[in-house]
Amino acid sequence: MKQLKLVFFSIFAFFFVFAMLMLRPFGSPQRTSMDHYIIENSQKEAACNNVVSAVVFDYRGFDTLGESTVLFAAVSGVFLLFRRK
Amino acid sequence: MIEFFSTNGIALLIAVPLLSAFLTPLFEKINRFLRNLYIIFSVIVTVTIGFFVSYTIFVSGTLVYTLGATEPGLTMPSGLRVPVRIVLVADAFSAFMILSSSIIFFVSTIYSFGSIRKGFGKYFSLFFIMAASVFGILCTGDLFNLFVFIEILSISSTGLIAFRKEKPLSLISAYNYLIVSAVASLMILFGIGILYGQYGMLNIAAVSRAIKFSFVDVFAMVLLIAGLAMKCGSVPMHFWVPDAYGRAPSAVTAFLVVSSQASLYALFRVSFMLFAGFSLIQLVALAIITFGLLSMFIGVTMALVQKDIKRLMAYHAVSQTGYMLLGVGVGLFSINTTFYSHGLLAMEGGIFHIINHALYKGLLFLTAGAIIYATKERDLNKIGGIARKMPFTTIFFIIGAAAIAGLPPTNGFASKFLIYESVFVFNPLLSIIAVIVSMLTLISFVKIFCSAFLGPEREELKNIKEVPKPMLVAMSLLALCIISFGLFPDSVLKAIIEPAAKALLSQGAYLEAVF
Amino acid sequence: MHAENEKNSKIIEFAALGLMVPIITFGIYVIAHGHLTPGGGFQGGAIMATAFALLFVSLGKKAIESIKGEVLVALECIALIGFIGIAFLGMGNTFFFNFLANSGVLFGEKVPFGPNSGIFSSAGVIPLMNFFVGLEVCCGLTLIFFLIFKGAD
């Protein structure tokens, strides 16, 4: 059984390394239309100097709501576990 | 007013349960009765919005909503050819699953009013977050948004599975579920990251228009499909299902079935939309069919030897997920070949099975919860002859067992018959295996019925009573839905299932709606 | 943590209480300037939570008994209701619409293109969202520290 696990894992590792070698080099993305649009227009539309904050709270604000909900759900779960009998 | 709800409906469907989840602990500080009233009010509002959105989509086509733009329909900013903001897209398949999730959400809430006694406020807070995340997975059109909602679902479900913390087995099951969900989320995130690095866009429609199926893209597809199959509970990653479904409170288990089906929805959305033009799509379809067959067979054979009621039903849930994977897998296989009409029938069968499974598996878990509530026993060897004292529960159990085995006046018969018929044309052997699994399912439910309900009464169980009214009302609603879907399967098929199957198969219509 | 019969050291108490003030001030600075400098809601909230962690570790039982968990839960819920309420307020157009940017009312000054020394009252809805998220993260992390230090009853 251990041999079978090792065989499957090495097949997966071989494909993994092969796929990673075929990625584009770091720092030269292929299509940048969405990123380019955000950098050009963030000061005009969102009126914000910090483009990262504009992306986190304006262009993709829904994901930030989701992450805050994850924190709330985790704290709620811990509170449920530690309540009195 | 109606105009407002029909354009903004999808965003409200996700936002209203989230708002209720944050308001419920505040209401609990003020007054208990006010909290109960507020919970009932917001559940009714959410379910009404769900039904209304479903109806609007079936009548007038796909709904598209851009979050944060000046108008809801403005997906692309001026002068650009790709969407920049998050876009919510709901077509007929999403509408079908919103319908099914809303029914189960409503029924589970009614049941919880009877069966949960302490820690009520926090329980409903997490339950609303779970519902918002399920609706979010069903409505989204953006890859990273999908990942965020899968994360929210995992964490809130873990908190609810560990609700009865007095028994240590609940804590171990919740921990198990958390680890499996974390590994699955990691694999999904990695696949999404590779696709973003290759194409620079996160919208599902935009990526599916630009994808080129190089080796890296195929690797990302494998990671995505494996991660989503882990979250559905199909073999070979099914080992969290019996523990998690068996040890959660019963209302939560009924909703966990819906959440696994939301992951199944995400799997189908990714394979039919993103990878539809792939030349080797038939290999992917064969892999899905293999998962389906293995789940059906392993689920039902492991269920035959169980003694704990809810664990046994959880193994049956694994086996029924196999039917859905088999049906839709055959549909994926025949997407461009001569089998097209039978492929459409197989997909209709698989999709019809999704809502049927949610209904009858929910009813069965609720009856199991009623038995455990009344007798305080989980072991089948120690229960006997309770049919005289609990007549209503017995009737609901019979209806549920007939539905899961595929007997005529219930909805299980309609969907299983569609699957047998269409898979037979594809390969007769698969159809025979499906029929054998159905017979084994019938055998195991007859075993439960005879040992738990019939037979002489036991000494310890002399004083049990029927369960409280909210639980009975919830179970009767589900039984009504099962019988009515079973008596009129044709009208259900034409009105709901056929648009859903056609919407899933046509990638062109989806792209039209977004661009 | 200290043993029961050991007195708390006065130096540690005094230093911890004294250090809390700069840490919380720095956290509020990071949250408030989220739309100009790197930082923002999540980062500033985590900084403020470390101040409370310092309080729990150095003061021990006195701190645990003087904070109530219910207040923290209520504050966290109010912060999240504020965040999602701001998103609802843009419902005239769509759900998360930035209705205060470029409008001149509260945070709505226009920003010239290119590098500039930042204008504080720009960026519309974003500073308000930063504030609510910072409050939520601080209360959430403090609540986790509080529950784990208090232990199960």
The residue whose two tokens read 């056609």 is: B502
In a domain, A8, yes or no: no
- What total of structural domains would you count in chain B? 1
Contact C36, C120 (CB under 8 A): yes
Pick from B120, B128, B155, B259 the residue to mutate for testing the A interface (most A CBs within 10 Å).
Answer: B155
C153 has a pLDDT exceeding 60:
no
Contact B51, B45 (CB under 8 A): no
In a domain, C1, yes or no: no
Structure confidence at residue B44 (pLDDT):
95
Structure confidence at residue C76 (pLDDT):
94
Structure confidence at residue B168 (pLDDT):
87
ipTM: 0.93
The residue whose two tokens read 């500039």 is: C116
C32 has a pLDDT exceeding 60:
yes
In a domain, A3, yes or no: no
Per-residue model confidence as pLDDT tens for chain A (85 residues): 788 989 999 998 998 898 888 887 777 777 778 888 888 888 888 888 889 999 999 999 999 999 999 999 999 999 888 876 6
Structure confidence at residue C6 (pLDDT):
57
The domain in which residue B344 lies consists of: 2-509
CB pairs below 8 Å between A and C: how many?
A: 109
d(CA A45, CA B70): 11
Binary contact (A59, B85; C-beta < 8 A)? yes
Query: Residue B498's CB: how many other CB atoms inside 10 A?
Result: 17
d(CA B365, CA B371): 10
In a domain, C4, yes or no: no
Structure confidence at residue C3 (pLDDT):
53
Cα B81 from chain centroid (whole Å):
35
In a domain, A84, yes or no: yes
What value does the mean pLDDT of chain C take? Answer: 86
d(CA B368, CA B149): 30
Pick from B22, B66, B67, B75 the residue to mutate for testing the A interface (most A CBs within 10 Å).
Answer: B67
d(CA C116, CA A19): 43
- What total of structural domains would you count in chain C? 1
Structure confidence at residue C152 (pLDDT):
58
Structure confidence at residue C138 (pLDDT):
95
Q: Which residues, listed in sequence order, are joined to residue B140 by a DSSP beta bridge?
A: B88
C4 has a pLDDT exceeding 60:
no
In a domain, B515, yes or no: no
User: Residue B87 — φ and ψ, nearest 5°?
Assistant: -115, 130
In a domain, C34, yes or no: yes
pLDDT in tens, B266-323: 999 998 888 887 888 888 889 899 999 999 999 999 998 888 889 999 999 999 999 9
Query: In which residue ranges of chain B is pLDDT below 70?
Result: 336-339
Quickly state the pLDDT bin for C60 (edges 50, 70, 90): confident
> Which 3 state secondary structure label does DSSP give B413?
helix
Contact B363, B475 (CB under 8 A): yes
In a domain, B514, yes or no: no
- What total of structural domains would you count in chain A? 1
Q: Which C residues 20-59 touch A at CB under 8 Å?
A: 34-38, 40, 42
**B49 backbone φψ class: left, alpha, beta (φ>0; ψ -120 to 50):** alpha
pLDDT in tens, B101-152: 999 999 999 999 988 887 788 899 999 999 999 999 999 999 999 999 999 9
In a domain, A49, yes or no: no
Contact B177, B220 (CB under 8 A): no
Structure confidence at residue B339 (pLDDT):
64
Contacts of residue C114 in chain A, CB cutoff 8 Å? 43
Q: At what angle do helices B168-199 and B143-161 cross, to 10 degrees?
A: 170
In a domain, B237, yes or no: yes
Give the residue-averaged pLDDT of C88-93. 87
In a domain, A19, yes or no: no
Name the amino acid, one letter, at C96. Answer: F
Exposure on the CB side of residue C4, measured as CA atoms within 13 A = 0
Which tokens sit at B381? 């060897």
User: Residue A64 — φ and ψ, nearest 5°?
Assistant: -65, -40
Exposure on the CB side of residue C127, measured as CA atoms within 13 A = 23
d(CA A77, CA B8): 31
CA angle B201, B135, B41 (to 5 degrees): 145
Structure confidence at residue B82 (pLDDT):
87
d(CA C99, CA C55): 40
C-alpha dihedral sign at B26, B28, B33, B38: positive
In a domain, C94, yes or no: yes
The domain in which residue A69 lies consists of: 61-85
C-alpha dihedral sign at B145, B98, B257, B218: negative
Structure confidence at residue B185 (pLDDT):
95
The domain in which residue C128 lies consists of: 10-150
Contacts of residue C40 in chain A, CB cutoff 8 Å? 50, 52-53, 56-57
Enumerate neighbours of A (3 or more CB pairs within 8 A).
B, C
Structure confidence at residue B427 (pLDDT):
85
| CB burial readout B430-449, b (16+ within 10 A) else e | bbebbeebbebbbebbeebe
DSSP string for C39-96:
--HHHHHHHHHHHHHHHHHHHTHHHHHHS-HHHHHHHHHHHHHHHHHHHHHGGGT-TT
Name the amino acid, one letter, at B302. Answer: M
Q: What percent of chain C has pLDDT over 70?
A: 93
Which of B77, B123, B152 is closest, CB to CB, to A73? B152
Please state, in angstroms and as integers, the Cα–Cα distance from residue B430 to each residue in B290, B293, B337, B346, B404, following that order. Answer: 10, 8, 19, 12, 19
Exposure on the CB side of residue B279, measured as CA atoms within 13 A = 4
